[in-house]
Each structure stands twice: as structure tokens, then as C-alpha cells.
Structure 1
Amino acid sequence: MYKAPVICPVCNKKMHIEVLRCSNCNSKLEGNFELNEFATLSDENIQFLRLYLLNRGNLSKVSEILNLSYPTVLNKFNKLLSDLGYKDEASKDESIEENNKKRKIIEDLEKGLIEPKEAIKKLKSLKGEK
């Protein structure tokens, strides 16, 4: 059996299913059926999700198996959540915390507590740059 396409090759919009057929008795049901969020996942996301589930949600174990760093695996997990349409609350909290740190650095700069070079250095370190 072929995997159903979920994106229209003509207009790149989401497709739907109109006919369902039983492989046992050949009964057919016609209508307009929506695909669930899991049906729209890429093969890469499906493989990652299977591995994640088989390892009971342990991203460290997934990281070991894939021989990838934990941050890389966490990024894959966050992409999976995003592709499923779920909001990642942890990322949102991290973003708020990072914004607060940036705000503090800028306030310190404005108050003259740190030099511009030091502020740039601190802001770059927040982004993971050197």
C-alpha cells in the first residue's frame, strides 16, 4: 500500500480523504475526512517519534542511539512538536528567560554599569556565540 499524500502537488495546500475502503470485506465509505496531525508528519519525524516512544520519552537515550548531541535531539523534538501544531511551553519559558537576561544587560549598559564591548560579549553568549 502507498502512503497517502498529505500536501497537494499542484497548490501545496493540505489534502483530505474522500473514500475509505475496508481491506477485508471491500466495504466503502465516502465523505470528506480530515487527516489527523500525525498523518501529516514527515518520514523523518515519524521515525524520530517511534524511537522516542520506544525509549519511553527519554531524550538522553534517543541522543545515544542516534549518536547526536542532546541539544540536537532536543531541537528535533521541538520541531516534531511544532510540526504537530503543539506549543512547546519549555521553549516559551526559555524565550521569556532569555528576553529577561537581554533586558538586564541593556539596562546595565544604559546605567553605565558595563561597557558596550562587555554588553556585546554577554548578548553573544546568550545566543551561544563566542
Structure 2
Amino acid sequence: MMNNEVIGKCPVCGNEMEVTKLSCNSCGTSIEGHFSLCKFCKLSDEQKDFVEVFIKNRGNIKEIEKELGISYPTVRNKLESVIEALGYSPKYNVPNINKKEILEKLSNGEITSEEAINLLKGEE
């Protein structure tokens, strides 16, 4: 039997989906009711893929950049997207990053000089 993953958002209107029936494949027991989805079920496939890469690389931004072939600001934006989708308030916004933090990241080799310039300009 093929197992499909539960979708978290309605493909028609985009609102949150709800599970109303659970069934046991072994004995046939069914339970009906209103069940909420886990937070991670509400992530898009792209967000789930990013979370997997993030965890696999233990949050190391440089390694995530290399694996996905994306820049530091893009990694941060994807992470912010996941944080917001999980229902948490964003604390980080690339255009509002402070100059000292950018220079520290440049000094530590976490971002390239080009990325630092773009961040200082407020670009992605």
C-alpha cells in the first residue's frame, strides 16, 4: 500500500487542512474526529527540503550554501520562511541586519565580500 504524506495547506484556498479520520492498516480500526496536523506538516515541500539540509549540516550556513548552491542571504531568507511557517515571529530580517554583524560574518568567513556588500546595501 502506498503511503502519501498529509498536506498541510488546502490546494484550492490555501487555508490549513484538518485530519478527520485515522485508520489502522493492520486491524481496520478507525477513529473519526478533528485532529490537528503537526507544525512540520504545514511546511511546503521546499521548506521541508531546506529543513532537512539544515539539520543534516547541523545549521552550518557555509555548508548549507555549498550544498544548495545559494548565497548567505538566501539561506537566511529560507530559514526565516520556515520559522514564520512554524508560527514563530521573525527576529531576523536581511535588510535590517546590523553593520557590525555583517562585518563579523565577513571576518569569520561566513559570507563573501560580495554578500557583505549586498547586505550593507540592503539587497538580497
> Shorter-chain TM-score category?
0.5 to 0.7
Choose the corresponding residue for 2:28, options 26, 29, 32: 26
Could you tell me the TM-score, scaled by structure 1's length?
0.64
Counterpart AA for 1:13: N
Deviation of the 1:80 alpha carbon: 1.1
Unaligned runs of 5+ in 2: 100-119
Equivalent in 97, 102, 127 of residue 122 of structure 2: 127
Q: Name the residue aligned to 1:64.
A: 66
- Of structures 1 and 2, the larger Rg is shown by 1
The alignment status of 1:6 with 2:3, answered yes or no, reads no
Percent of paired sites with the same residue: 34
Q: Which ranges in structure 1 are unaligned for 5 or more consecutive residues? A: 99-124
Structure 2 equivalent of residue 122 of structure 1: none
Q: Is 1:16 matched up with 2:18?
A: yes
Change in CA separation of 1:127 and 1:10 when aligned onto 2, cut-off 3 Å: closer
Counterpart in 2 of 1:118? Answer: none
TM-score (norm 2): 0.67
CA RMSD of aligned residues (A): 2.7
Give the helix-richer structure, 1 or 2: 1
What's the counterpart of residue 89 of structure 2? Answer: 87
Aligned to 1:39: 41
Q: What is the aligned residue count?
A: 102
Q: Which residue of 1 aligns with 2:116?
A: none
Task: Give, as a single letter, the amino acid of the residue that structure 2 aligns with 1:46.
Answer: K
One-letter amino acid of the structure 2 residue matched with residue 127 of structure 1: G
Q: Per-residue displacement from partner, 1:29-85 (whole Å, max 9, x unpaired)?
A: 211001122111111000100111111111221111111111111111111111111
